Chains A and B, each alone.
Chain A
């Protein structure tokens, strides 16, 4: 992975006046409609931060309460991996792309059929992603259906951390299991302080059910994570037409209000808590009412959210790479290509779902990770833009070659062809037809499968040291992770 962050902010789908209107409306929603807290615990926390709590559990926010929360929320969050590269430096218009989802289906690499994911799939996908350079972090992509629910959180984080050095994010079902996961990560990171100073894990909590209602069990997890100082993404997923207004601007106003209230809650629990603004917006398909992740309107919404996050100075847990297709086909290619490029150009910071996803958030495929690694590579290349300098303008070499010559063997050519100037997609075929036919007429999906098989067949390295592993086993019963039901 290259060490200079990629920077977006090259496309703006909202004007400054639009941003102001949405922000103003969101604040008005918080003052007028408010959110439903539904529990004394969070209502009291928010009241302590200056919010107005009604008898019915409705919490309304003044501009001042929101401003105070934005004041204390960090504008930069660092998420660490355990490899050689620098941490993910989230904030501003800096762009990182990674996996996402809690998919309940995986397409088998050999027969192509959808089946339930197992813990071995989680390990294999982590190992695959470890070797794909344009996937920058690992958000737990599948739900291992062969692990009992009570052991799942520890097992899934352990499995992710054992098979990739990239930053690992996941959810926790209860505050207790969140504590366990933090302890597990601390053992690997070298202590509780180390995991807070250099978080190798982070959490995502679906703390709000749109519209404007706290999910109390997720809030309990959020509280624990925030109290412990571990970064957390405030995920909520309104759909235009069902859980948000049918108009895109209406959804943005609502989700911005939801996010501002979440930031206020997190900052009320612990001032300065590292949080990620986390809208996961989409339009509903009006025929099925399903989440239309691949729709171009969903991409527009996510690009707009990147701008909204930039406007308030809080890093964003962004979203691109969804498709409504059931397999890695033409639809998957054009939907992902469009939304990943658009959101990267807009400057989403921690762009999840940007590898492997199919069927909106319900399925993943091994070869899709390899294909998306290429789509991400193309998007990142677009972000790097065109370097213009005396060296790249190449006036000297143009004079040397002169009219009618060629540049093939010039030192200038050789100095630049293996640099960041060019990105070559591994799954793309650029050969002439005869060579392509001679090689068996394979498409990108077939190339991707070959690459996935090759990576999965490599001898595995465990990324948890023997010593840390022993200490983890002294503390946790990992039998469910090793002999799943």
Chain B
């Protein structure tokens, strides 16, 4: 059964993953076992295949979608059993930027990696980021920008976290077409990743 769930995640078959997860739970399989033995290893393979160039982004996303389907069933059970998510991540596109595809892709991969993701959407102000980090006690704040004109809002968010006195409670990671590792260092962010799989990997090392 565990193997079948893992395979269904690899195949990106959400319906099958949900169905198999439900019957595994019915048969008394521990939620944590499903997570640790089927879902997480499957997404690790997906990430590796992507990095090797064997998987396209849409093929990676349907696997993440399938995993999300199972997580919806498992999350309340895991919480009851005292199993915490890997971490809590607040994500959004900075002020003035409407482009959400890259950010949503990253959000999906972060969920696939076992994080709880609070997606604030697009054109999020620095103040709204600060409030969400506080409210959700986030471990990581992920900022996205596609435009060269809007990426300059990223340092303002970092500044706002500092001014609110919570900069050291949260790791800030950034991404988007014009963003670079050097820019992350320049504005005092904690990390940068070039793509969604890289972002998930980065979050795991930071959380």
Contact = CB atoms under 8 A, between A and B. Distances in A.
Contacts of B195: 288-289
28 contacts: A102-B148, A104-B148, A104-B178, A143-B148, A149-B149, A149-B152, A173-B149, A209-B98, A209-B99, A213-B98, A215-B98, A241-B58, A242-B101, A243-B101, A286-B56, A286-B58, A287-B50, A287-B56, A287-B57, A288-B57, A288-B195, A289-B57, A289-B101, A289-B102, A289-B105, A289-B195, A362-B177, A362-B178
Given A286-B57, A287-B56, A288-B57, 7 more contacts: A143-B149, A215-B98, A243-B101, A287-B53, A287-B57, A288-B194, A289-B102
A480 to B, nearest CB: 16
Closest 6 CB pairs of A and B: A286-B56, A104-B148, A289-B57, A209-B98, A143-B148, A104-B178
Interface in A201-238: 209, 213, 215, 217
B96 interface: yes
Interface of A: 102, 104, 143, 149, 173, 209, 213, 215, 217, 241-243, 286-290, 362
A207 B82 CA distance: 49
Nearest to A288: B195
Contacts of B177: 290, 362
A209 B100 CA distance: 10
A149 B148 CA distance: 11
Contacts, number: 34
Main secondary structure on A side of the interface with B: loop
Interface string B79-105: 000000000000000001011011001
Contacts of A242: 101
B96 A217 contact: yes
Most chain B beta-carbon neighbours within 10 Å: one of A102, A143, A289, A290 = A289
Contacts of B98: 209, 213, 215
Nearest to B54: A287
Nearest to A241: B58
A212 to B, nearest CB: 13
Nearest to B98: A209
A107 to B, nearest CB: 15
Nearest to B50: A287
Nearest to A291: B177
Contacts of A102: 148
B12 to A, nearest CB: 15
Contacts of A213: 98
Contacts of B149: 143, 149, 173
A287 B56 CA distance: 5
A209 B146 CA distance: 12
A241 to B, nearest CB: 7
B124 to A, nearest CB: 16
A243 to B, nearest CB: 7
Nearest to B59: A286
Nearest to B105: A289
A362 B178 CA distance: 8
B99 to A, nearest CB: 7
Nearest to B122: A209
Nearest to B61: A289
Most chain B beta-carbon neighbours within 10 Å: one of A215, A287, A290 = A287
Interface in B47-90: 50, 53, 56-58
A287 to B, nearest CB: 6
Contacts of B58: 241, 286
Contacts of B178: 104, 362
A288 B53 CA distance: 10
A64 to B, nearest CB: 30
Contacts of A149: 149, 152
A213 B195 CA distance: 25
Contacts of A104: 148, 178
Nearest to B152: A149
B78 to A, nearest CB: 31
B95 to A, nearest CB: 11
Nearest to A289: B57
A215 B149 CA distance: 14
Contacts of A243: 101
B179 to A, nearest CB: 10
Contacts of B50: 287
A286 B55 CA distance: 9
Interface in B129-164: 148-149, 152
A286 B50 CA distance: 11
Contacts of A217: 96
A290 B146 CA distance: 11
A362 B148 CA distance: 10
Interface string B24-65: 000000000000000000000000001001001110000000
Contacts of A241: 58
A322 to B, nearest CB: 14
B128 to A, nearest CB: 18
